[in-house]
A and B are shown apart, each in its own frame.
Chain A
Amino acid sequence: MRLGHAAAAVMAVCLSAGPVWADEVVKFALIDPMSGSFAATGRLGEQHFRFAMDRINESGAAGPGRKFDLVVLDNEVSPEKSLVLLRKAIDDGVHYITQGNGSSVAFALTDAIAKNNKRDPARSAMFLNYAAVDPALTNAKCNWWHFRFDADSDMKMRAMSSYILTRKDLHKVYVFNQDYSFGQSVERGAKEMLTGKRDDLQIVGAERVPLGKVKDFTPYIQKMQAAGADAVVTGNWGADLALLVKAANDSGFKGTFFTYYLGSTEVITEVGQAGRGDAQISEWHANVDSAPIEEMAAAFEAKYHQAFYYWRVVNMLDMTAAAMKQANSSDPEKVGKVLAGMNFHNPLGDVSMRADNHQLLQPMFISVLEPGVKHVFPEVNMGFRTIGRIEPDQTRMATTCSLANPS
């Protein structure tokens, strides 16, 4: 009882001591791994959110007197834990949920948010997805409250596979992924888009490993070598990619890695010099020619002492802020109606949020890791060089989803 009084007193103090200069604080709950194998990846995301929010709060981009605030919740990449955290966030009055690591988590969240919003419209929540790229999230499992700001794995695979097909020096492709919904969709996409397209190119192996469990990938690399693979297509991220490439270096594997997530700092430090020639598909990298983002990256690096990586987090929050300003409200339903079908101009060009499945269409870049480019990772003295830009409209895929605004 006494504890209850004390807690109430503390809360009262906190509430009264809140910032008086802001008319409205919009809270965003970031539900991502902040401990365990993928803690490094989650923390990197958190820093980008703080950075992007500071910019918006300074410029007032979300509308006069409206500030963004971040609540960080550690889900250890567990869908079950994420649901508990989501409940807590909604109970605490948070209307904006954001998550990126693990499509398995995203499925649980999108489902729970749809149910919550139906049951309790007054406490509706919006799901801003910055990195969970299973195509089903904007197809079979799509939901009006979910908006995705990263290209889905099929969009990325289409770009990646068309590049692989042009590489006449590649003949044997090994597909290697993490064993959950995202990894499975990468594997399916790679098989669909690479099989039977070129007579001298075949898939010599496909394998999946449990998420974040394997520490020594050497046996897997040896299987790739035994299969004679000269290219590896992988959607692995975080430690699962870093250790895979490290094992490849140790075993003298000569093939090229075609990745989704090579550019994050923790991976680059492991890749080392041997990563030369490995490729990545992404919405941005440090050598994409854009002065405003280069400035942003420098500011991020000065503040957090590591390389800027999630351009899409900045873009996502900028778009959300613009939508709030336009809707003149932070009510998720009103903001969502603006976001659906929204056209937005960012330093890389025009991007648009599809109204039918809430998938962002944005320019994508295929790049390879090389020495002698303008911005290099100091750890390895190499950086990414763009070898192909894919325009937003070229990434548009057919969807089974047809969302309509709630009336």
Chain B
Amino acid sequence: MEQGLLVVLNGLVYGLLLFMLSSGLTLIVGMMGVLNLAHASFYMLGAYLAYSISTVVGFWPALVLAPLAVGVIGALVERYGLRPVHRHGHVAELLFTFGLAFVIGEIVPLIWGRLPVPYRVPAVLDVPLFALAGTAYPAYRLFMMLISLAMFCALFAALAKTRLGLVVRAALTHPDMVAMLGHDVPRVFTLVFGAGCALAGLAGVIAGNAFTTEPGMARSLGAIVFAVVVMGGLGSLSGALVASLLIGLVQTVSIGLDLPFYKALSALGITVDVGGRLHDLWLLSVNRAAPVVPYLLLVLVLATRPRGLLGSRSA
């Protein structure tokens, strides 16, 4: 039972982290119709900037400054990079972000080197919070969870309650109408792109020290973030939340399952013929397949609901 609670906690942390990354991406996709392939690179940038800032002024200022810096960089990229490309259509935009991902991926090791940087969890949070079934639960994990939740609430409130949020939501679906009403839609785009990048940066700040800050970190998370966004439905914030938590929980739970597939399925009431042609597959233990699980879920969701879990348009 306690073991189960730990698994759920881990799944939540991972899921919420994925959400922080994908929330920015899904907003950008929803609003501008452009899949930002460099999104995970802003996550990496956040971690590296937080490391550099924290060596000078400490972790807490870095927690605020690094995402802001990433947001500013994102806004500049949108204003001077993406906007001129915009009139050439979505393919050009996609290629631009594709190239940008490589540029950031090469600049980072030029500045900080190819080895992981010693970006550490602050000493205050580097303590066990409580012990469950003989396992210490780090305080920093709870902190990660709280930050993610606070960010979700703030984002939701900003979109639902403020005047700016109203304009953003309107520009999501009817950009021309919003422009007719006298709002500067390109500026709203820049704002949303910057905010999306800042969120990715924030995720980098709090994940960079929990895992490692190294030049490969963008690549390793990039694919899974797209899986989340597509699965949740392009442009749907709550869809991204559901998909992130689902992927986080299912992946963590499957790591803990040392059962072969046929036994796991029979626990769900499905019996399969072990001797059949798929013999090897049924005998494969679930934990070995854990890394494939997010993509398997993605395919399943797309096959049954092409617009994603909570999406309103088709992918």
Contacts and interface: CB of A to CB of B under 8 A. Distances in A.
Interface in B1-20: 3, 6-7, 10, 14
B115 A266 contact: yes
B135 A216 contact: no
Contacts of A246: 211-212
Interface string B192-223: 00000000000000000011101111011100
B255 interface: yes
B133 A207 contact: no
A230 to B, nearest CB: 12
Contacts of A269: 116, 118
Contacts, number: 95
A239 interface: yes
Interface stretch (A154-162, A218-226, A325-333, A389-397): A218-226
Contacts of B211: 215-216, 243, 246
Given A40-B114, A219-B10, A222-B135, A242 B212 contact: yes
Interface in B61-83: none
A36 interface: yes
Nearest to B128: A252
Interface in B260-310: 287-288, 291
A379 to B, nearest CB: 7
Nearest to A43: B114
Given A218-B10, A226-B3, A252 B136 contact: yes
A214 B291 contact: yes
A218 B7 CA distance: 9
A246 B210 CA distance: 9
A250 B138 contact: yes
B220 A37 contact: yes
B134 interface: yes
A207 B258 CA distance: 9
Contact of B135 (A40, A243, A251, A270): A251
A394 B242 CA distance: 58
A280 B116 CA distance: 22
A265 interface: yes
Contacts of B138: 250-251
Contact of B7 (A43, A219, A265): A219
Most buried by A among B10, B140, B221: B10
B36 interface: no
B10 A270 contact: no
Contacts of B3: 222, 226
A128 B201 CA distance: 43
A247 to B, nearest CB: 9
B218 to A, nearest CB: 11
A2 interface: no
B285 to A, nearest CB: 9
B54 interface: no
Nearest to A270: B212
B14 A251 contact: no
B251 to A, nearest CB: 9
A208 B291 CA distance: 12
B114 A213 contact: no
Contacts of B26: none
A83 interface: no
A258 B109 CA distance: 31
Contacts of B210: 216
Interface residues of A, number: 39
A216 B288 contact: no
A195 interface: no
Interface in A253-271: 253, 265-266, 269-270
Nearest to A305: B113
A18 to B, nearest CB: 29
Contacts of B10: 216, 218-219, 222
Nearest to B285: A207
Contacts of B217: 215
A239 B134 contact: no
Contact of A223 (B131, B140, B256, B291): B256
A346 interface: no
B252 interface: yes
A35 to B, nearest CB: 7
A207 B287 contact: yes
A288 interface: no
B250 to A, nearest CB: 12
Interface string A225-245: 110000000000001001100
B120 to A, nearest CB: 9
A239 B136 contact: no
Contacts of B6: 222
A24 B221 CA distance: 46
B136 A379 contact: no
B229 to A, nearest CB: 19
Contact of B131 (A218, A252, A266): A252
A36 B216 contact: yes
Contacts of B220: 37, 212-213, 215
Contacts of A370: none
A379 B118 contact: yes
A179 interface: yes
B14 to A, nearest CB: 6
Closest 10 A/B residue pairs (Cβ)? A252-B136, A37-B216, A219-B255, A250-B138, A40-B115, A215-B211, A225-B135, A36-B216, A39-B114, A43-B114
Given A36-B216, A39-B109, 9 more contacts: A222-B135, A223-B255, A242-B116, A246-B211, A250-B138, A250-B140, A252-B131, A252-B135, A265-B115
13 contacts: A35-B215, A37-B219, A38-B216, A40-B114, A219-B255, A221-B135, A222-B3, A225-B135, A250-B140, A251-B135, A251-B138, A252-B131, A270-B116
